Amino acid sequence: MIYITGDTHRDFKRLNNLVDNEDDMLIVLGDAGINYFLNDDDKKLKGYLSSFNIKLFCIRGNHEERPENIDTYKETIMFSGKVFIEDEYPNLVFAKDGEVYNINDKSVLVIGGAYSIDKEYRLMYGYQWFKNEQLTPKEMDDILTKVKGKHFDIVLTHTTPYKYEPREVFMTGLDQTKVDKSMEHFLDKIEDTIDYDKWYCGHYHTEKQIDKVEFMFGRIKVFGKDEYSPKYNSDGYEIVRDYCTQKDIYKDGQVLCPECNSNNIIVQKGDGRYIYGVDEIAIICNDCRKVYGFNDVNYKSGCPNEL
């Protein structure tokens, strides 16, 4: 099985929601954070990730060094395209920008990179920032020439075409005129000149769909399908995400299932770190044998949904 998710930023708890099968793969849409510190901290994380059987197929984001700039990476062929792998961590795979892969018998175009809105902050306080986080003009021209007029089943990018930017999640107080939109405008050109069935991207720490473009963050889906993973909780109850509001479970002074009105229920809480206010993410109905997720949980900025 192949799965897909958004930015991980070195937090891979979501791997625990997947069956650890060596035939499975999780696509990460950039900012995996595996090559961020470029020291023993990265090696420690890679060692931890190599303890999983599942393969990680990572798109390059803007909070990580390009693998081709790291001596231990070698270029090889996988899925009929060029990738970067370290001998010591063969299950950690980085896609090459502009490559076209055959994944699950689908033609998949991959384009990584984006501008970091926290660039000045990172430079000021001594955090890593990578000067070639965006594609160069030549790289953009080469990719555009390569793909122009072609059809792709799926496009995987870190950021999004400019026309689809989720402006409702932009950081308040940040002057957008100072944000370099080169990558987004380039992806506009790509989107205009190719034919495609589906486009996945990350970067914006949000979950939404516009036309054929889907933004992903903390949740996991089956690659190429509108199906979340896991589909069931540990008790075998089906998970129905974003089903109702937190208030919908209160009826006549009681807490009841929003679907069948049963009181044979349990309120599922979050882990206490990501949510403002009431730390409740779902109601579990033992009669329906379903988990009904709340769609109005007040998550802290940059925190992924827990269900």
Amino acid at 72: T
CA dist., res. 57 & res. 159, Å (int):
17
Residue 118 falls inside a structural domain: yes
**Burial group, residue 210, by CB count within 10 angstroms (0-12, 13-18, 19+):** middle
Q: How many domains does the chain have?
A: 2
Structural domain boundaries, residue 132: 2-229
Residue 120 falls inside a structural domain: yes
Computed over every residue of the chain, the mean pLDDT equals 95
CA dist., res. 261 & res. 247, Å (int):
14
- Kindly report the pTM of this predicted structure: 0.95
| H or E stretch at 182 | helix 182-193
How much of the chain is in helix, strand and coil states, percent to nearest 5?
20, 30, 50
- The answer to whether residues 139 and 261 belong to one domain is no
Cis bond upstream, residue 230 (ω within 30): yes
Confidence band of 147 (pLDDT split at 50, 70, 90): very high
Residue 305 falls inside a structural domain: no
pLDDT score of 160 more than 90: yes
- The answer to whether residues 183 and 261 belong to one domain is no
Query: What's the pLDDT at 248?
Result: 96
CA angle 139, 141, 147 (to 5 degrees): 100
CA dist., res. 240 & res. 248, Å (int):
15
Query: What's the pLDDT at 294?
Result: 97
Side-chain half-sphere CA neighbours of 262 within 13 A: 15
Question: 228-229 and 220-222 as β-strands: parallel, antiparallel, unpaired?
Answer: antiparallel
- The answer to whether residues 93 and 224 belong to one domain is yes
- The answer to whether residues 224 and 249 belong to one domain is no
Query: What's the pLDDT at 178?
Result: 85
Query: What's the pLDDT at 296?
Result: 95
- The answer to whether residues 200 and 266 belong to one domain is no
